[in-house]
Amino acid sequence: MSLLEYGAMTRKTSGAVVLIACAVFATACGKPEPLTAQKAQQIVSSWAFKREPVYAEVPQKVWWTPKSPKDDYDELAVRTLRNLERVGLVTVTEELTADSATYVAKVTRKGFPILGTAPSYRGPVYRAKICEKVYDGLRNFVRHPREETVGHGELVWHYANPTPLYPLFETKINKPLDKPFASHVSFWYDDRQWKFAVNVRKAPSS
């Protein structure tokens, strides 16, 4: 059995989008070999690239009023904008009253090639790469006791290789460097394809 090709797709399960990676194998017979930890690692390797860029965001406009009070994220966002202003990537204007505030950031010529933009539920944001997600491999693989082509395991990874922007984006949430995390994945064989789904994208690694 040799690997011919692989692809990636998404599907929705119970309202959530789950990433599916498919590995297509050629085989002389219709029955696949039993799923093993080694085979599971081979399947997941088609999707789990060695390094994956990680981004952080900050709203371009941060504001609060008595009807929409300041929250903890607003404080982190203002500090992030000031950090970016300090290194010349944005300029920040502010309007303050006794119980409200508005901060608006504009990208500078220096910041234009560094900060991307994206939509969010808080409005437009600036977005930049802050580090990389490094995959460490599959562990705690368990095959189904009665179905030899079904199993599950933990894909372990960590945040590493911070960029100079990593300390500036105080809006990054739960992205400590060099701390292991795990994605819970399940494996199965269907329609002559090995497949896996990421059931839990991020969990503490035991």
For residue 87, being part of any structural domain is answered with: no
Question: Would you say how long the chain is, in residues?
Answer: 206
For residue 97, being part of any structural domain is answered with: no
With contact defined as beta carbons under 8 Å apart, do 201 and 87 qualify?
Answer: no
Q: How many domains does the chain have?
A: 1
Q: For 4-55, what is each residue's pLDDT tens digit?
A: 223 344 444 443 334 444 444 444 456 789 999 999 999 888 776 678 999 9
- Segment 98-123 shows an average pLDDT of 96
Q: For 87-103, what is each residue's pLDDT tens digit?
A: 999 999 999 999 999 99
Given this model, what pLDDT does residue 6 score? 31
In the chain, % of residues over pLDDT 70 = 84
In the chain, % of residues over pLDDT 90 = 75
Strand blocks (E) in 27-173: 51-59, 61-64, 90-96, 101-107, 116-118, 125-143, 151-160
Q: To the nearest whole number, what is the mean pLDDT of the chain?
A: 87
For residue 140, being part of any structural domain is answered with: yes
Question: The whole model's pTM is what?
Answer: 0.80
State the residue range of the domain holding 31: 2-50+134-156+180-204
For residue 90, being part of any structural domain is answered with: no
